[in-house]
């Protein structure tokens, strides 16, 4: 059984184009996303929207006046659909295919980076997530801001037993051979005919990664602690923790 890798991730999202396109056209920004963007991003400055998918966050940012923006995603089909929506809307946003662990940009060239919808946790292996954190820091200007979200192993009491069993399986060598670390999970979406990889960290793990890569933590919060999102948003994404960090 092959390990989860970039091709696994790409294939997973190739089968989710319609879901992401619908979200781009019908959901837009969450209340929580609007909060952090309004609080930390200035409209005239430059933004890289990593893991943009079909442009759910990118188009909404553009509509709000953040026009110095580039949307980037690992999956070419996502970018193809984003450009199709770009044409439909008559907007002129730059969308590019790219890898967060190896960004094709010069040092110190963006004021802000956004990595929404728990995208950074869909990078397999902590060493690769560390690479992404280093790369994002490299391309940000001095005191540049980075906003991202993660799911959290500790947020839902009903999953405590699940993660305990996962840890026992990992130690015994009986866990899904495609996975790497405690917190890794593959979610099956039968209606979309795809398997989704995502890593569920705890707060301590993220703080260790941020410290290792030189970030200053500005703010973190569970989405539901500050906002009651619409049912549509809750159906699209389960609860998550927001992180705001500075170079």
CATH code, domain carrying 40: 3.40.50.150
Q: Answer yes or no: is 237 within a domain.
A: yes
End-to-end CA distance of the chain: 39
Q: Answer yes or no: is 55 within a domain.
A: yes
Q: What is the pLDDT at residue 122? A: 97
Q: Answer yes or no: is 179 within a domain.
A: no
How many structural domains does the chain have? 1
pTM: 0.96
Region 39-56: mean pLDDT is 98
Q: Answer yes or no: is 114 within a domain.
A: yes
Region 7-30: mean pLDDT is 95
Confidence of residue 221 (pLDDT cuts 50, 70, 90): very high
Does 204 have pLDDT greater than 90?
Answer: yes
Q: Answer yes or no: is 173 within a domain.
A: no
Does 191 have pLDDT greater than 80?
Answer: no
Cα Dmax for the chain: 55
Region 106-119: mean pLDDT is 98
Residue 202 burial (10 A CB sphere; 0-12, 13-18, 19+): middle
Does 186 have pLDDT greater than 90?
Answer: yes
141: containing domain: 6-155+202-246
Q: What is the pLDDT at residue 45? A: 98
Confidence of residue 192 (pLDDT cuts 50, 70, 90): confident
Summarised one tens digit per residue, pLDDT across range 51-92 is 999 999 999 999 999 999 999 999 999 999 999 999 999 999
Q: Answer yes or no: is 230 within a domain.
A: yes
Q: What is the pLDDT at residue 156? A: 74
Q: What is the DSSP string of the chain?
A: -PPP-HHHHHHHHHTTHHHHHHHHHHT-S-HHHHHHHHHH--TTS-EEEET-TTTHHHHHHHHTT--SEEEEES-HHHHHHHHHHHHHHT---EEEE-BTTB--S-TT-EEEEEE-TTGGGGSSSHHHHHHHHHHHHHHEEEEEEEEEEE--TTS-GGGHHHHHHHHHHHHHT-S-TT--STTEEEEEEGGGTEEEEEE---HHHHHHHHHHTTPEEEEEEEHHHH----HHHHHHS---EEEEEE-
Q: What is the pLDDT at residue 175? A: 85
Q: What is the pLDDT at residue 163? A: 86
Q: Which residue has the tokens 């110190």?
A: 108
The dihedrals phi and psi of 30, each to the nearest 5 degrees, come to -75, 160
Does 202 have pLDDT greater than 90?
Answer: yes
Q: Answer yes or no: is 213 within a domain.
A: yes
Averaged pLDDT score across all residues of the chain: 95
Confidence of residue 155 (pLDDT cuts 50, 70, 90): confident
d(CA 123, CA 242): 17
Q: Answer yes or no: is 101 within a domain.
A: yes
Q: What angle do CA 116, 118, 123 make, to 5 degrees?
A: 115
The dihedrals phi and psi of 47, each to the nearest 5 degrees, come to -130, 135
Instruction: Mention every residue, 6+ apart, whose C-beta is less than 8 A from residue 215.
Output: 133, 137, 146, 245, 246, 247
Q: What is the pLDDT at residue 97? A: 98
């Amino acid at each position: 059984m092959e390990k989860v890798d970039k091709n696994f991730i790409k294939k997973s999202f190739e089968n989710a184009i319609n879901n992401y396109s619908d979200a781009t056209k019908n959901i837009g920004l969450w209340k929580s996303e609007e909060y952090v963007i309004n609080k930390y991003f200035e409209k005239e400055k430059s933004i890289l929207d990593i893991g943009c998918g079909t442009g759910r966050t990118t188009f909404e940012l553009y509509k709000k006046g953040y026009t110095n923006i580039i949307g980037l995603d690992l999956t070419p089909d996502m970018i193809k659909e984003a450009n199709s929506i770009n044409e439909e809307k008559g907007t002129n946003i730059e969308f590019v295919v790219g890898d967060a662990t190896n960004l094709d940009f010069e040092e110190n060239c963006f004021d802000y980076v956004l990595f929404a919808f728990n995208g950074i946790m869909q990078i397999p292996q902590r060493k690769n997530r560390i690479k992404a954190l280093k790369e994002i820091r490299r391309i940000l200007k001095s005191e540049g801001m980075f906003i991202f979200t993660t799911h959290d192993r500790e947020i839902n009491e009903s999953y405590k037993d699940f993660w305990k069993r996962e840890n026992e399986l990992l130690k015994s060598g009986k866990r899904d051979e495609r996975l790497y670390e405690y917190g890794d999970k593959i979610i099956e979406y039968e209606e979309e005919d795809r398997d989704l990889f995502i890593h569920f960290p705890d707060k301590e793990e993220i703080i260790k990664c941020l410290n290792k890569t030189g970030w200053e933590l500005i703010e973190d919060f569970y989405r539901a602690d500050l906002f009651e999102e619409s049912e549509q948003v809750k159906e699209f994404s389960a609860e998550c923790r927001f992180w705001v960090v500075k170079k």
